[in-house]
Structure 1
Amino acid sequence: MSIAMQPSLFDSPAVAPALGELGETVERTLLSEGAWVDVRPGWVAGSDALFSTLATDVPWRAEQRQMYERMVDVPRLVCWYGENSPLPDRILEEARDALSAHYRAELGEPFRTAGLCFYRDGKDSVAWHGDTIGRSKTEDTMVAILSLGEPRNLLLRPRGGGEASRRFQLGHGDLLVMGGSCQRTWEHAVPKTARAVGPRISVQFRPRGVA
């Protein structure tokens, strides 16, 4: 798949993808009820080249879901890589391993799976939710999101509804990690937008049994 994207002023498809440091470059925001969010802007240099590779090489698929009495299209393309599946680019395997090393003391286990979402334009989105299928329904855990391509807003709010209380604009190699009780006590969303925006790919790394 080939989709036009506005390149970053600080990046280029000609730059080979490479990971930056984590450590003290990661900034943590404490939420409520034991939830937190880490952000590391521009973690992947050469992210536009990685975006182009994934957009072309990943076997993207469209899904449908039941809504009331009819089936509707899921407003994004998806692809899932289980823990024994090779990832579509070596830099994603390096990213998974680097995240596992950085969060080993807190998480106590490695990141093992990768779910990819392709937001083709502003009409593609994901509604308010927490990743509470599996162990994260009852246990603290982490979900690490690597954002590539055009920046989009990721919103967070305490579970139970209401307006977003946290907003992060993510793209071009930015990293965001939701940890602690975040999946149980908070919700997140990538809303639709009427603005003219280009495509974005998110890569979500999760431990075993978290979906």
Structure 2
Amino acid sequence: MTSADARYALQASLFDDATGGVELGELGPTVQRRTLTVGAWVDVRPGWMTGSEELFTTLADSVPWRAERRQMYDRVVDVPRLVRFYGENESLPDPLLVAAREALSTHYQPEMGERFVTSGLCFYRDGSDSVAWHGDDTGRSRTEDTLVAILSLGTARPLLLRPRGGGPSIRYSLGHGDLLVMGGSCQRTWEHCVPKSSRLLGPRISVQFRTRGVR
């Protein structure tokens, strides 16, 4: 499915009112924190971006998406999603992403002492696209507390979290402008995934904002 196909397959949320354009809501007291184990935590802000379907369409059509391949045992397989990473010195593909990154930095810098500087985009075209259990633990987050913020656009998909090594999982349904932030030790002590689904699902774009030295 191409990005143009995905645009027409997307079904807007009844709660994502675009009549006033695309807007970011407040953070502050609207953010709901859940304390996990061993210093990890998760913040959730449902519907942080209203009118987000407009941004979804822009990104689906304009981002130079890349299909990756990886070694899996004795063969090379397609990564089941499209990706694009924007480093510290790269311009983001839409001013709304710049505004979101700055708003997140302003909110979390007093607590964490640093700002968000990179952005990774993942395009889940349908239910067969996914990401396996993992932590963003390449770099500083292997030994330090860090932040990863995820802005979800398009169709809601489950994002699961579980303690590293296994255990009961926590489930969030994220889409249509929802925000989830993983902080503290989360990347080294917990794992997260977006599982495959046999259901007929529309497309989703995940925008991950990260602090310096985290992948």
TM range (shorter): over 0.9
Matched, 1:52 2:57: yes
Task: Confirm whether residue 183 of structure 1 aligns to residue 194 of structure 2.
Answer: no
Q: Kindly, what percent of the aligned residue pairs are identical? A: 70
User: What corresponds to 2:22 in structure 1?
Assistant: 17
Moved over 6 A (4+): none
Partner of 1:85: 90
CA distance in structure 1 between the partners assigned to 2:154 and 2:179 by the alignment: 12
TM-score by length of 2: 0.95
Partner SS, residue 42 of structure 1: coil
Preserved CA contact (<8 Å) 2:18 2:50 = no
Give the secondary-structure state (helix, strand or coil) at the position aligned to 1:140: coil
| Residues 77, 119 of structure 1: 8 Å contact kept | yes
**Aligned to 2:116, what secondary structure does the other structure show?**
coil
SS of 1:112's partner is strand
Give the counterpart letter for 2:181 in structure 1: V
- Partners of 1:121 and 1:13 lie apart in 2 by 23
Work out which of the residue numbers 124, 131, 144 in structure 1 matches 2:129.
124
For the pair 1:201 / 2:205, whether they are aligned, the reply is yes
Q: Which runs of 5+ in 2 are unaligned?
A: none
Q: Measure how far apart 1:49 and its partner are.
A: 0.3
Amino acid at match of 1:169: S
Q: Which runs of 5+ in 1 are unaligned?
A: none
Q: CA 1:15–1:70 in 2, change beyond 3 Å: closer, same or farther?
A: farther
Q: CA deviation at 1:7?
A: 0.8
SS of equivalent to 2:214: coil
Paired amino acid for 2:71: Q
Task: Name the SS of the counterpart of 1:105 in structure 2.
Answer: helix
Cα distance in 1 for residues equivalent to 2:26 and 2:19: 21
Give the match for residue 116 of structure 2.
111
Cα distance in 1 between the residues matched to 2:123 and 2:107? 26
Q: Which residue of 2 aligns with 1:35?
A: 40
Instruction: Trace 1:156-175 onto structure 2 (pairs within 5 A).
Output: 156-164=161-169, 166-175=170-179
> Partners in 2 of 1:151 and 1:129 — Cα distance?
20
In structure 2, C-alpha distance between the alignment counterparts of 1:176 and 1:161, rounded to whole Å? 21
Q: 1:149 to 1:15 in 2, by over 3 A?
A: farther
Q: Post-superposition shift, 1:106?
A: 1.7
